[in-house]
Amino acid sequence: MSQFDLVVIGSGPGGYVAAIRASQLGMKTAIVERAELGGICLNWGCIPTKALLRTAEVYRNMQHAKDFGLAADNVRFDATAVVDRSRKVAGRLSGGIAFLMKKHKVTVIAGTARLEKGAVAPKVIVTDKDAKDTSYEAKHVILATGARARAIPQAGLVPDGKRIWGYREAMTPREWPLSLLVFGAGAIGIEFASFYAALGVKATVVEMLDRILPVEDEEISAFAKKRFEKEGMVIRTAMKAKSLKATASGVEAVVESGGKSETLTASHAIVAVGIQANTEDIGLEALGVKLDKGHVVIDEFARTNVKGLYAIGDVAGAPWLAHKASHEGVICVEAIAGKHPHAMIKERIPGCTYAHPQVASVGLTEANAKAAGREVRVGRFPFVGNGKAIALGEDQGLVKTVFDAKTGELLGAHMVGAEVTELIQGYVIAMQAEATEETLASTIFPHPTLSEMMHESVLDAYGRVLHV
């Protein structure tokens, strides 16, 4: 029986980062993966979708070449080449993970893992492609098994791989859609709708809640909706899917809003109604692992209620973000090694949506801050007041900041517009450093940059805005 200090189950952004950090700290480490190294994020999620969205961005800019004094006639795209580029990007990064595992002397075990009761920590049994079982013992075991797309069978929201797509089919379509119904207006649904709409597909987004991107600040959500609609997306909110089925020529959905039903049709549909943790068939029930709504329950250092067993990333609950998983993995391993890391503060985890326009945020929304009993000061600055945004031809957007009126603490930052997924980290650092409005207001921002709007939004919260 092979023995390790740590065995990590799952090689996504949480798992492989945890394995690397463990190796750096001198632990004999193994990682188990049943599919591709890098997990869903690198192979079928974060990375390939951004490659697709970059294609959409370039295509959109080419169509507006005249606005920049340029000529780009007969602009068109090759759907096969678009998808092929996305897959090559994913493949390159997956290969990079294999290199990192070798570099850090992490043993990679191919197969499907399950857990059984062990002496110090649960024993890991790995079944390989030939159905052969091999047992591994470790002092510590980390579950990083991730999650998968949620389906709602009672409403027909189940991918069939042909007309009704999940994320895999949406990224590698066998045929190009003439029109799309996208169920779910969270980040995943909006990103797919934005990609296809940019390439000329009529994309209709159906959302059960009363607004899109429901985790975002209401003001930002409303602004984004108007911009998405201007980009060609059709958005239907407060609408519940009753049924979805494939037909001879496409898909047909019965939806309900305000007690009234109607039928929507399209050539294809995408199901993006949330995710479900991968906790089945691992042996968690027999070990008595505590679950909550399908997710593994952990403490601030990713420990489960079972000795020697930890969980990180999507399998351990919201927010379901790659960077949260990676950071959680580092915290978990450093705690195992006795390094006394800081516990994660979830309010300081940024979230990003890579549509056009982009949306990014960190911390409390204005509504949540008020609901928590905080007296707030709110600052806003529009992209139309920023010279760099105007020069880029991207003058539609908004930066919003929320401060505690008594202490000057930055409670939240919310942004919509060009490159905000890159800008948001400035506010994340400010929150982590516990900077106040005084620190941010006295910071020099370079000109001309989009980041100046971050400064102006802070100034606006305290009646000092300069350029509006």
Residue 9's DSSP bridge partners are: 32, 143
Q: In sequence order, which residues have a C-beta less than 8 Å from that of residue 411 and are 6 or more positions away?
A: 363, 364, 369, 374, 376, 402, 403, 404
Q: Distance from CA of residue 198 to its chain's centroid? A: 20
Query: pTM of the entire structure?
Result: 0.94
How far apart CA 231 and CA 430 sit, in angstroms, is: 33
| Pairing label, strands 147-149, 133-143 | unpaired
Please report the DSSP string for 86-98 in residue order.
Answer: HHHHHHHHHHHHH
How far apart CA 162 and CA 156 sit, in angstroms, is: 14
Going by the DSSP 8-state scheme, the letter that residue 444 receives in this structure is P
Nearest CA to 30 out of 19, 38, 21 is that of: 19
How far apart CA 427 and CA 175 sit, in angstroms, is: 42
Dihedral of alpha carbons 368, 353, 44, 301, sign: negative
Model pLDDT, residue 5: 97
- Tens digits of pLDDT across the chain (468 residues): 579 999 999 999 999 999 999 999 999 999 999 999 998 888 888 899 999 999 999 999 999 999 999 999 999 999 999 999 999 999 999 899 999 999 999 999 999 999 999 989 999 999 999 999 999 999 999 999 999 989 999 999 999 989 999 999 999 999 999 999 999 999 999 999 999 999 999 999 999 999 999 999 999 999 999 999 999 999 999 999 999 999 989 999 999 999 999 999 999 999 999 999 999 999 999 999 999 999 999 999 999 999 999 999 999 999 999 999 999 999 999 999 999 999 999 999 999 999 999 999 999 999 999 999 999 999 999 999 999 999 999 999 999 999 999 999 999 999 999 999 999 999 999 999 999 999 999 999 999 999 999 999 999 999 999 999
Dihedral of alpha carbons 244, 246, 247, 252, sign: positive
Please report the DSSP string for 374-422 in residue order.
Answer: --EEEEEEEGGG-HHHHHHT----EEEEEEETTT-BEEEEEEEETTHHH
Domains of the chain (ranges; CATH) run 2-148+276-346 (3.50.50.60), 153-273 (3.50.50.60), 357-461 (3.30.390.30)
pLDDT digits (tens, 9 = 90+) for 129-159: 999 999 999 999 999 999 998 999 999 999 9
Model pLDDT, residue 51: 96
Please report the DSSP string for 291-355 in residue order.
Answer: EETTEE---TTSB-SSTTEEE-GGGG-SS--HHHHHHHHHHHHHHHTT--PPPP-GGG--EEE-S
Residue type, 273: V
pLDDT digits (tens, 9 = 90+) for 378-413: 999 999 999 999 999 999 999 999 999 999 999 999
How far apart CA 247 and CA 450 sit, in angstroms, is: 47
447 among known catalytic residues: yes
Q: What are phi and psi of 324, to 5 degrees?
A: -65, -40
Tokens of 146: 């991730």
Nearest CA to 269 out of 424, 416, 157, 430 is that of: 157
The number of beta carbons lying within 10 Å of the beta carbon of residue 178 is 13
Cα–Cα distances in angstroms (integers) from residue 310 to residues 51, 181, 265, 289, 298, in the given order? 33, 39, 45, 10, 7
Model pLDDT, residue 2: 76
Are the C-beta atoms of 204 and 264 separated by less than 8 Å? yes
Judging by beta carbons within 10 Å of its beta carbon (0-12, 13-18, 19+), is residue 154 exposed, middle or buried?
exposed
Q: Which of 64, 323, 342, 447 is catalytic?
A: 447
Q: Which helix (H) or strand (E) holds 14?
A: helix 13-24
> What three-state secondary structure class fits 262?
strand
Are the C-beta atoms of 436 and 409 separated by less than 8 Å? yes
